[in-house]
Structure 1
Amino acid sequence: MILSVIFYAFVVCAVIQLTYLFTFSSFLFKPKRSRKTKIEIPVSVIILVKNQSEKLLKLIPLILEQSYETFEIVIINNASSDDTNDIIELFSKKHTNIKVVQVENNEAFWASKKYALTLGIKASKYDHLLFTNANCNPVSKDWISEMSKKFTSKKEIILGYRKYKKEKSIFNIFVRFDNLLTAIKCFGFAKMNSPFMAFEGNYAYDKPTFFKVNGFINHMKINFAEADLFIKDASQKENTTFCISESSFTEKDTPKSFSKWFSDKKDTAFIRKKYMFKHRFLLNTFAFTKILFYILATILFFTYPYQITLSIVLFYCLVYYIIIGISAKKLKEPQIIFFLPFLEIGLLLIQITIFISNLNSKPSHWK
């Protein structure tokens, strides 16, 4: 009797997991033809920086070289104490399309990153805003073009892909795998007209949408996750789309250490509590049934006819390999598919650790 319950629970978990996988993979198929912006619209590229002068030296020239006619770069210097301001002034004196917004520490606004971003958005000249970070570099000269042409009369929010630079290390492959899974969920939900997040370092929206929800007012005291929480407030069924052409990607370096990456993942897990209920439910169900699927499969291998259990596991793995493989190819993430079993198990263990850790600790703050 107990074995039968375990087996049926295992089958239910397998069905749920496969349903999620097929649903998430919908972003890989060509979307319905929609009207894209044919005429280049003026764009304000928003960059918030704090003590990142070396990153700016690389990023600003890449943006200035963009194959786009009308755009400005709004650099928000959020009370930097290094030579960031000197670098900004050096570029702004040579290029008239660079606007600088200086932000001093303001305890009335909790020294907020979102307060600084709000000042930059208000200072921007154009209505269409494209966001990146100082540590995220566009991979091509068509970044602005690819992202901005997704704007239409109905599409006000654009989700882009931010990848990690390929490096020769196991840690780098692991981080890229986790990032790929995040992308599959991000774009899968967006394709279902139910977006829940954006990659900080590559997303866009227009000013009217920002002011319609009073900006970041609903989460100003949470000093990070400005993209995800804005999506929660502003995204609607028809006003959000995504861009996954290779030329639209941005790229950043792998975190310097596992502890830094682990801390960022804890912050992300904490922010999930602020998502809409339906997104929390769907994401938590996906994570829980995946863990339960592997636990029940292990039990059944030793207590139930292994041929049946093995056939279900192999079918799941085949579907999983195909979807991850196609997604990795589409999003230009090489090598991941070859290490998939080890990456999958490792990530599950880390997710369990993060869940336990977040029960007794608060997230770190953006500095």
Structure 2
Amino acid sequence: MIPIILLALLGICVLVQFYFALVYFFPLSRHKDPDVTEQVPVSVIVAAHNEQDNLFELLPMLLDQEYLEFEVLVVNDRSDDDTEFYLYELEKQFSNFKVVTVKKTPEYLNSKKYALALGIRAAKYEHMLFTDADCRPYSTKWIEKMQSGYVTGADIVLGYSPYAQLKGFLNHLIRYETLLTAIQYLSQANKGQAYMGVGRNLSYTKACFFRNKGFASHIKITGGDDDLFVRDAVNNSKVNIVIDKEAQTWSIPKKTFREWITQKRRHLSVGKQYKADDKRKIGAFVISNIFFYVLAIILLVVNSHLAILAAIVGLRYIVMFSAYTSVARRLNDKLSLVLLPVLDLVYFFNYLFLGISVLLYKRIRWK
């Protein structure tokens, strides 16, 4: 009797996953970005703390963008390397380059959000495009492509920002986690149910920022300048997505498991601040996957109903991995089919352990 109950629960988990695949994921793979019809002026904003080497690579790529009217604004946040000197030299060379300097962050305020808020206030143009110092645009059309998302009257445009492909299993796992996260937030935004974005590739208007009181509701929380702002803004703002390769930015991922775990714990701790409905939706997908593996392993160990188990597991792999690979192709991202079953298993169990560890999470400052 117990094995039958376990099989039924396994089937329910798979059906929940199929719902997400059919309603959200497959439609995302067919998404078409808007055509560029006009170019509105844009302020590209980067907050940086001791990022001289990254800025040395990033800023020429930003200043070389093929766009009619834009400015690049860097918020130099308490840097004590040679960032200030480098930015000063660029400011002399380029009329569309601006620097805002932060000498000290007010007590009890999150430093990155404070830096971004100052940059937003100093921005010349209504439309703003954000990225991080360690990111790189894939093309000289990045600004143009991301701004195409405003054609339909959007207030916020969400983009995709994958990590570079390097050697090693950790790199595969990080890129898989990034892809699954993007599949979830982009697919739900595609259905008018946006709940987060990533600051590595995000755009919104000044009016949207001030209408939603900026970062006021979470100014003391480490992280969340991207997803928590989107959380607050979606009720009175229209959100669009742009996912073409030319609209993407990329960055180098963490190279040690410990660094990545620290980063993911910070992200998950911010997730506790999401709206209840969004947490239930995310939780339904994640928990259905975790329980799928737990139940499948139990049934395999007790050696019960193996033929039915194999059929359910096989069908789940075919449908879900087809959804993931179809979205990956749309995003022009690479997904290892050989490692996919292992990555999926490790990812969801790692998610479980990270979720538990967040209960013991200690506050971490941005930098």
Same fold, judged at TM 0.5 (above): yes
Partner of 1:60: 59
**Between 55-64 and 343-352, the greater mean CA deviation after superposition:** 343-352
CA contact (8 A) 1:270 1:363 kept: no
Offset of residue 364 of structure 1: 2.2
Q: Distance in 2 between matches of 1:120 and 1:350?
A: 36
| Structure 1 residue 199: Cα displacement | 1.6
Select between 150-159 and 220-229 the one with higher mean Cα deviation.
150-159
The alpha carbon displacement at 1:20 in A equals 1.6
Letter in 1 for 2:338: F
In structure 2, what is the equivalent of residue 210 of structure 1? 209
C-alpha displacement at 1:335, in angstroms? 4.3
2:40 equivalent in structure 1: 41
Distance verdict in 2 for CA 1:159–1:111, change over 3 Å: closer
Deviation of 1:303 after TM superposition, in Å, equals 4.7
Gapped runs of 5+ residues in structure 1? none
Distance 1:348 1:39 in 2: 43
341-350 vs 38-47, which moves further: 341-350
Q: Which sits farther off after the overlay, 122-131 or 294-303?
A: 294-303
For residues 119-154 of structure 1, the C-alpha deviation after alignment (integer angstroms, 9 at most, x for no partner) is 110111100000011100101000000001111363
The aligned runs of 1:154-193 (5 Å cut-off) are: 154-193=153-192
Q: Which residue pairs with 1:219 in the alignment?
A: 218
Aligned to 1:287: 286
- CA separation in 2, counterparts of 1:253 and 1:151? 29
Partner of 2:313: 313
Residue-pair matches, total: 365
Partner of 1:28: 29
Amino acid at match of 1:30: H
What secondary structure is seen at the aligned counterpart in 2 of 1:359? helix
- 5 Å-filtered alignment, 1:1-367, equals 1-25=1-25, 26-30=27-31, 38-108=37-107, 110=109, 112-152=111-151, 154-236=153-235, 239-301=238-300, 302-367=302-367
Q: Using the alignment, how far apart are the partners of 2:36 and 2:236 within structure 1?
A: 20
CA distance in 2, matches of 1:234, 1:44: 20
Q: Structure 1 residues 260 and 68 mapped into 2: Cα distance closer, same or farther (>3 Å)?
A: same
1:258-296 CA-partner distances (Å, limit 9, x unpaired): 111111110111111100111101111211111111121
Q: Encode CA deviations 1:170-200: one digit per residue, 9 max, x unaligned.
A: 2211111111111100111101211111122
Determine the C-alpha separation between the residues in 2 that align with 1:362 and 1:197.
Answer: 23
**Greater shift after overlay, 336-345 or 86-95?**
336-345
Worse-superposed segment, 152-161 or 327-336: 327-336
Q: Find the aligned partners of 1:292 and 1:160 in 2 and give their Cα distance.
A: 31
Task: Name the CA distance, whole Å, in 2 between partners of 1:143 and 1:107.
Answer: 34
3-state SS of 1:102 partner: strand
- The letter of the residue matching 1:364 is I
Which ranges of structure 2 fall in alignment gaps of 5 or more residues? none
Determine if contact 2:222/2:363 at 8 Å carries over to the other structure.
Answer: no
Q: Report the CA distance shift for 1:8/1:111 in structure 2 as closer, same or farther (over 3 A).
A: closer
**Letter in structure 2 aligned against 1:362:** K
- Higher mean C-alpha deviation, range 49-58 or range 107-116: 107-116
How far has the Cα of 1:39 moved from its partner?
Answer: 1.6
Do the aligned residues in 2 keep the contact of 1:328 with 1:337 (CA within 8 Å)?
no
Identity fraction in percent: 31
Q: CA deviation at 1:315?
A: 0.6
State the Cα RMSD in Å. 1.7
| Structure 1 segments (4+ residues) deviating >4 Å | none
1:336 positional shift: 2.3
What amino acid is the match of 2:349?
A: L
Q: Taking structure 1 as the reference length, what is the TM-score of the superposition?
A: 0.95
Q: CA deviation at 1:115?
A: 1.4
What is the alpha-carbon distance in structure 1 between the residues aligned to residue 158 and residue 110 of structure 2?
A: 27
Letter in 1 for 2:314: L
TM-score w.r.t. length of structure 2: 0.95
